[in-house]
Amino acid sequence: MKRYVIKRVLSALLTLLLITFLLFLLVRIMPGNPFPSERMTAEAIEKKRAEMGLNDPILVQFFHYMSKVLKGDFGKGTSLYYGAPIHTVLKKCLSNSFKIGGIAILLGTFVGLLLGIVAALNRDRFWDVFCSVFSILGVCVPAYVFLIFLQYTFSYKLTLLPYFFDSTDFLRSTIIPSVSMSLFTMSTVARFTRNEMVEVSDSDYVLLAEAKGMYGAKLITRHVLRNALIPVVTVLAPLVVDLLTGALVVEKIYGIQGIGKLMVDAISGEGIDYNYVLALGILYSAMYIGIMLVVDLLYGLLDPRIRISAKGGDNG
C-alpha cells in the first residue's frame, strides 16, 4: 500500500508538471498580447517585452516561471488589479469560491445520498418516482437558471435573502448560490446512489445475506450501502472540482468575487492577462489531479479488491 501511494503521488506530480508546461506553451501561442497596443508605441512594447523576459528562449522562460511558482509566487497581473501580486488576489477569490462551493458540495452530497437511499428503499413507489423527476430536472436545468429563479422568489418576491453576494452578510448571501450550484451534484448523486443500491440489492451476495437471516438496517448498511457507494465516490470527484473551481456564470450573476469570475475577467478584459490565465490554469489542473489522487486512494480503502492488487497481488 505504501509503495502504491508513493507511486501514485509521484505520477500525479509529474502529470501536473507536464500540464503546467503545456499551459505555458499554449498561453504563449495564444492570439492577443498583454499590451493594449493602441495606447503604446512599438518601441515601448519592445522595451517592455525585453524587460519581462519575453524574448528569452521558451525553456528558459519556463524555468524562471516555475522557480517562482514553487515559492508560491505567480507574478503580477499584466492588466488586472493594477499589478497586485496574483497570489494575494487568488487567495481572496479562492476563499470565496471554496466556501460557497464547499457548502454546495456538502449539501449536494448529503441530500443526494439521502434522496437516493430513500428512493432505492421505496423502489417503484412515490419517493422513487419523485427522485427520478427531481434528478432529471436537476441535471437538465443549468445552475444559473435556478439561481435566477431563487433570486426572483426569495430576494425579489419574498425579500428574505440578499440580491447579490455580500461578504459582510456571508451566511445569508451564500444560500442562493450554494443551493443553485448544489442541485446538479444532488441530482447526480441521488440518481447514482439509487441505481447502484437497486443493483446491489438484486445481487447474489445480498440474497445470501438475507438467506443468512440479515434484514433491515444491518443488511442495508453492511452489505448494500458499502458496495453501492464505491461507484458513487468516483462520480462525485469531478463534481467536487467543478464546484470548488467556481461556477463561472453563477459567480458572475450573483457578483461573487471568486475564481470563476476571475477567469472570465482575465480573458475578457482589455488585453488578455496571461499571468492570471496561466495561474488559474495551473490551479484548476492541480485541483483536478489532487482530487483524483484522493479518490484513487479512497477507492483503495473502500474496495478491498483494489487495495490488494495494488499491493502486488496475494494469490488467486
Query: Which residues touch 179 (CB under 8 Å, ≥6 apart)?
Result: 104, 107, 146, 150
Tell me which residues in 252-271 interact with other proteins (CB under 8 A): none
- 227-254: string of b/e by CB count within 10 Å (b at 16+)? bbbbbbbebbbebbbbbbbbbbbbbbbb
Is position 226 an interface residue for other proteins (rule: CB under 8 A)? Answer: yes
Query: Which residues touch 121 (CB under 8 Å, ≥6 apart)?
Result: 197, 220
Q: Give least dist CB 191 to other proteins, A.
A: 21
In the bound state with other proteins, the residue whose beta carbon lies nearer, of 46 and 210, is 210
33 and 271 Cβ atoms separated by less than 8 Å:
yes
**DSSP at 270:** S
Q: Give least dist CB 258 to other proteins, A.
A: 38
Is position 10 an interface residue for other proteins (rule: CB under 8 A)? Answer: no
C-alpha cell at 265: 475577467
Q: Which of 121, 148, 230, 248 binds other proteins (CB under 8 A)?
A: 230
Tell me which residues in 38-97 interact with other proteins (CB under 8 A): none
**Span near other proteins by CB under 8 A; candidates 129-137, 167-175, 209-217, 243-251:** 209-217
Is position 31 an interface residue for other proteins (rule: CB under 8 A)? Answer: no
Is position 126 an interface residue for other proteins (rule: CB under 8 A)? Answer: no
Is position 216 an interface residue for other proteins (rule: CB under 8 A)? Answer: yes
Burial class of 29 by CB neighbour count within 10 A (0 to 12, 13 to 18, 19+): exposed
Which residues of this chain interact with other proteins, rule CB under 8 A? 123, 203-216, 218, 222-223, 226-227, 230, 302-305, 308, 314-316
